Structure 1
Amino acid sequence: MYTCNGKLNHKDQLLKQHAPLVKKLAYQLKAKLPASVEVDDLIQTGMMGLLDAVNRYEDNHGAQFETYAVQRIRGAMLDELRSADWAPRSVRKNMRTVESAISQLEQQLGRPPTEAELARHMGLSITDYHAMLDDCSGHQLIYYDDFGDDGDAHFLDRHGVADDSSEISGDPLKTLMSEGFRSALVEAISELPEREKLLMALYYEQELNLKEIGAVLGVSESRVSQLHSQAVGRLRAGLREQAWTGVA
């Protein structure tokens, strides 16, 4: 809305000024999600989050508006993804199959299995195995569903209990922040094959995109995506195994 002087009011100025921020955050999030998620949907949801931030923000909050807006925008996008359940059941089923194969072969071999060994174990050609990894692109290390209780304590809940804190058990955020879970994750990462370990460091620590990582590793962007899916499968299998054996 314009004032009587023909100028945008303060709220509209904030919306116009920070609209590019919504697009930036949407593309950052899209890079970690399957192709089925449309970036335009993320942007639309993010704009609603920005509008909410503009309406709720007060200068006396003590925080810069952009810092506050980022939280509201990301929160809106994540809420939309949760409600839409963007990961099809087939994707999660495929990833569980990969996780199970990794866990079984690691127990048999005493080391991380190769792609060829995993494909053979699942009765797939290496091409079909790579296609399965492509389908799992964007699969997350942790899902909110991982904290559910279906009659048997989930491996993440087990890590929370391992800290002997009744306040941690059942609280997803506290579980993820717990020393037991972080130690388990560090150990699982240390067990990754060297190339996958480097990939995860470049992606999550250096924040390189898949194309940039491909240039470092000397492989295609699609190959990086496959290796990332496989690394996530190894980490989830490792975390599950530690929980099952009571190791924190």
Structure 2
Amino acid sequence: MAVSTDIDTSAVAGLWEAYAASREPQLRERLVSLYLPFARMMAARMYGLRTHANVEFDDYLQYGRVGLLEAIERYDASRGFKFETYAASRINGAILSGMEAYSEVHEQVAARRRAVQARLASLAEPQRAQGAPADLFGYLAELAVGLAVGFALEDSGMYQAPEQEAHYRDHTYDGVELKQLRERIKALLDGLPGKHKQVVSYHYLQQLPFHEIAEMMQLTKGRIAQLHKEALLKLREGLRATRELDWSG
């Protein structure tokens, strides 16, 4: 399979020899430009077999370039086989690996979105069934506080054992006040009733969605959502009582 009908075979061989001897970046760039149409063709074939409709061709091409660069770095022209033959598997492999990583990240993002939606739904009940709240701003503030407490639990790494803290320490919130707040939340969480503590621990520590927690605890998903809301409200009230945080604004 030829890269281009306009390529001078002897000139390409000389370019490979020069690059093998010097490894100069300028020569590598010339090789990349020379074989980029081949990588594009390989990416187009893989793109035609894609399983994610929302992935752009440029994503495939970018991973194809990565495979091309790796192939150029490792190719040994003295072995006698064509570069395209050697590069094809590496380009395909780079695209497949890239798409696998993309799929994993995409699923993690989707799972995080579903978790946030489930939390919001649990905090919004039973107000949703009662219609529009009389105090809209107060209602929104309640939702915001509930979500904030939940995310503080999730992002703090507070449940890790002491020997693990060095590996899981959260560097996002390094303020003294926020550290103290997280410690207070931990103490309040330890004092929650059994089921409330279980739900919060499963959801924020182990990242389990409500339906999986429901199966584990042999309860309905609706009951898990109710326990989740009650637990966050208890934590919020505990923080109010200790004046660690002024929720009143």
Shorter-normalised TM-score: what interval?
0.3 to 0.5
Structure number with greater CO (CA < 8 Å, separation at least 6) is: 1
Relative to its length, the structure with more helix (as a share) is 2
Greater radius of gyration (CA): 2
